[in-house]
């Protein structure tokens, strides 16, 4: 699961380099991604056809996802990434 690995990587980085920001950042990322189940159209149309993106300003992260019959899936070639 690439997106889960990305979230863990972000958490590990923040733990080491910005421990003060780790908990609020991870709560924001997980909370927003979890809310996509309820509001799948929340994100903007993605750069790649058929995808949507959720931004996390002022953080440099973008969650890329697809909506399939009201199911949220991360495209296999896309991950949670920096802008």
Mean of the pLDDT values across residues 22-28? 96
pLDDT for residue 47 is more than 80: yes
Range of the domain at 21: 2-82
0.85 exceeded by pTM: no
Beta strands in the chain (DSSP E): 44-45, 52-55, 61-68, 71-73, 81-82
Mean pLDDT of the chain: 87
- Radius of gyration from C-alpha coordinates of the chain: 13
Residue 59's CATH number:
3.30.2310.20
CA dist 65 and 62 (Å) reads 10
Q: How many domains does the chain have?
A: 1
Share of the chain above pLDDT 90, in %: 60
pLDDT for residue 8 is more than 90: yes
Mean of the pLDDT values across residues 47-75? 86
Q: Give the model's pLDDT for residue 2.
A: 78
Backbone phi and psi for residue 66, each to the nearest 5 degrees, phi listed first: -120, 150
């Amino acid at each position: 699961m690439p997106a889960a690995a990305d979230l863990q990587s972000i958490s590990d980085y923040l733990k080491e380099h910005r421990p003060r920001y780790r908990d609020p950042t991870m709560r924001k990322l997980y909370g927003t991604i979890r809310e996509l189940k309820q509001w799948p159209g929340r994100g903007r149309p993605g750069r790649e056809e058929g995808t949507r993106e959720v931004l996390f300003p002022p953080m440099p992260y973008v969650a890329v996802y697809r909506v399939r019959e009201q199911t949220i899936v991360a495209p296999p070639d896309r991950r949670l990434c920096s802008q």
